[in-house]
Amino acid sequence: PHSVGIVGLPNVGKSTLFNAITQAGAESANYPFCTIDPNVGVVQVPDERLTKLTELVKPKSVVPTAFEFVDIAGLVKGASRGEGLGNKFLANIREVDAIAHVVRCFEDENITHVAGKVDPISDIETINLELILADLESVEKRLDRVKKMLKTQDKKVKEEYDLLEKLHEALANEKPARSVELTKEEQVIMKTIHLLTQKPVLYVTNVSEDEITDFTNNQYVKRVVDLAEAEGAEVVVISAKVESEIAELDGEDKEMFLEELGIQESGLDQLIKAAYRLLGLDTYFTAGEQEVRAWTIRRGTKAPQAAGVIHTDFERGFIRAEVIHFDELMSAGSMVAAKEKGLLRLEGKEYVVKDGDVMHFRFNV
Ligand code: GDP
């Protein structure tokens, strides 16, 4: 299962956002891979292509793809030294694949800010520093261990040692591990080190309800956007309060409310899509009369492993896949027309599945 952790200082709107997620969220019963835990919210990934496929195929049921948001509460200054829920917090971050960092960009005299004033950049730095300090400790421990093994003259050990030194230097300069450029070999070693600041991040700016359609005058958002740009990170602007109201509605009611607010897509839907991109995930579809369904794969997955997402038997007995891209299917107008035009390709074991492929697998049982 793919998961995104929601982090942020106290009182920035995390719980409000997380409540919106669980309200709007899917029943985890439909997604056996999802955890049943009060701190985990399952969200369905909105996808216009799935809607169009459904109109085309008219199946009995439709299943969007999903992933998890994890509410990681309890971060305060000093967490890396075990303050607040420090250690538990850090352990929870270790388990997620990416981080959505919520910052407060709304003014409200009635809601105290832990640092005394609204300052999203300083909030981001506070959290980043805690994660960097925790990583620095991990790297130092590992350096000690690897140092002792250096005399074995093993080339692999030396490579790991050099990488750890490089990471140590970055972290000691208060730079996250993800800012370190890695060679292919180093990327492989990196997977065994499990650092917090290695995980991809996006920023969620929580603005007041009257600013969601026009936040151009919000200086806090502007600063976060600048910081994110320098890091190559995405920013999603939401109002957690409004999202919790939207999450109580669905179907036409939701559409009408969004129209009233003057927005096309809820902030939560934008956040879900951005998080999906951040996780490096692609979607392929299966389209039968029984069921039209979206499936999640890691970008670059080959056909047999993509089939394995449906069932391990599909991967084991994989023979071939019949493939047509969603766009081609739409221009052909129907599956029958696509077949007649010879647009269905037969692909083998080495085929890399593309985002938007409509797949039919042939396999041995
Ligand atoms: P957390 O500590 O980060 O989980 O923050 P909460 O979600 O509990 O929010 C802290 C307070 O800020 C609560 O009183 C919320 O109602 C309020 N709050 C959250 N989002 C907004 C918002 O968009 N606008 C305003 N005015 N208040 C908000």
Q: ipTM of the assembly?
A: 0.92
What average pLDDT does the structure give for the chain? 91
Q: How far is the CA of 16 from the centre of ligand 1 (A)?
A: 6
CA-nearest residue for atom 10, ligand 1, is 11
Q: How far is the CA of 13 from the centre of ligand 1 (A)?
A: 4
What does the block give as tokens for 20? 């919106």
Alpha helices in 58-154 (DSSP H): 86-95, 120-149
Q: Identify whether residues 336 and 239 lie together within a single domain.
A: no
The CATH number for 180's domain is 1.10.150.300
288 located within any domain:
no
pLDDT in tens, 83-128: 665 677 788 899 999 999 999 998 887 877 777 788 999 999 999 9
Q: Is it the case that residue 222 has pLDDT exceeding 70?
A: yes
The answer to whether the CB of 242 falls within 8 A of the CB of 267 is yes
State the Cα–Cα distance between residues 146 and 138, nearest whole angstrom. Answer: 12
The answer to whether the CB of 318 falls within 8 A of the CB of 274 is no
295 located within any domain:
no
> Probe ligand 1: pick from 70, 109, 241, max atoms within 8 Å of CB?
241
pLDDT in tens, 36-48: 677 899 999 999 9
CB atoms within 10 A of CB 265: 11
Q: Is 266 annotated as a binding residue?
A: no
Give the pLDDT confidence score for residue 39 in this predicted structure.
87
Instruction: Over range 231-241, report the average pLDDT.
Output: 94
Residue 352's DSSP bridge partners are 302
Q: Identify whether residues 12 and 100 lie together within a single domain.
A: yes
Question: Domain range spanning residue 134?
Answer: 130-197
pLDDT in tens, 314-363: 999 999 999 999 999 999 999 999 999 999 999 999 999 999 999 999 99
Q: Identify whether residues 193 and 203 lie together within a single domain.
A: no
Domain end call among 197, 218, 233: 197
Give the pLDDT confidence score for residue 121 in this predicted structure.
94
Q: Is it the case that residue 234 has pLDDT exceeding 80?
A: yes
pLDDT in tens, 275-297: 999 999 999 999 999 999 999 99
Q: Identify whether residues 112 and 41 lie together within a single domain.
A: yes
The answer to whether the CB of 258 falls within 8 A of the CB of 186 is no
336 located within any domain:
yes
State the Cα–Cα distance between residues 326 and 58, nearest whole angstrom. Answer: 16
Domain end call among 244, 278, 312: 278
For residue 239, give the ligand 1 atom closest to its CA.
23
CA-nearest residue for atom 7, ligand 1, is 13
Give pTM, 2 decimals.
0.89
Under the banding of pLDDT at 50, 70 and 90, the label for residue 22 is confident
| Nearest CA among 316, 302, 305, 319 for reference residue 361 | 319
Q: Identify whether residues 144 and 193 lie together within a single domain.
A: yes
Q: Identify whether residues 93 and 182 lie together within a single domain.
A: no
Give the pLDDT confidence score for residue 111 in this predicted structure.
79
84 located within any domain:
yes
Give the pLDDT confidence score for residue 212 in this predicted structure.
85
pLDDT in tens, 65-80: 999 999 987 666 776 6
292 located within any domain:
no
Q: Is 14 annotated as a binding residue?
A: yes
For residue 73, give the ligand 1 atom closest to its CA.
4
Q: Is 12 annotated as a binding residue?
A: yes
Q: How far is the CA of 66 from the centre of ligand 1 (A)?
A: 26
293 located within any domain:
no
Strand stretches in 260-328, DSSP E: 281-287, 291-298, 318-325
Comparison of pLDDT for 81 and 364, the residue scoring more: 364
Domain end call among 174, 197, 220: 197
Q: Identify whether residues 12 and 88 lie together within a single domain.
A: yes
Count of domains forming the chain: 3
State the Cα–Cα distance between residues 98 and 288, nearest whole angstrom. Answer: 33
pLDDT in tens, 191-219: 999 999 999 999 999 999 888 888 888 99
The answer to whether the CB of 67 falls within 8 A of the CB of 279 is yes
Q: Identify whether residues 51 and 175 lie together within a single domain.
A: no
Instruction: Over range 27-53, report the average pLDDT.
Output: 83
Under the banding of pLDDT at 50, 70 and 90, the label for residue 189 is very high
> Probe ligand 1: pick from 7, 9, 11, max atoms within 8 Å of CB?
11
The CATH number for 341's domain is 3.10.20.30
Q: Identify whether residues 59 and 10 lie together within a single domain.
A: yes
State the Cα–Cα distance between residues 362 and 346, nearest whole angstrom. Answer: 10
The CATH number for 72's domain is 3.40.50.300
Q: Is 15 annotated as a binding residue?
A: yes
Helix (H) or strand (E) holding 359: strand 357-363
CA-based torsion, 307, 312, 315, 320: positive or negative: negative
What does the block give as tokens for 351? 């085929």
Q: Is 13 annotated as a binding residue?
A: yes
> Probe ligand 1: pick from 111, 213, 237, 271, max atoms within 8 Å of CB?
111
Q: Is 333 annotated as a binding residue?
A: no
331 located within any domain:
yes
Q: Identify whether residues 170 and 109 lie together within a single domain.
A: no
Give the pLDDT confidence score for residue 79 in this predicted structure.
65
Give the pLDDT confidence score for residue 112 in this predicted structure.
77
State the Cα–Cα distance between residues 88 and 143, nearest whole angstrom. Answer: 24
Q: How far is the CA of 177 from the centre of ligand 1 (A)?
A: 31
Give the pLDDT confidence score for residue 210 in this predicted structure.
85
For residue 102, give the ligand 1 atom closest to its CA.
3
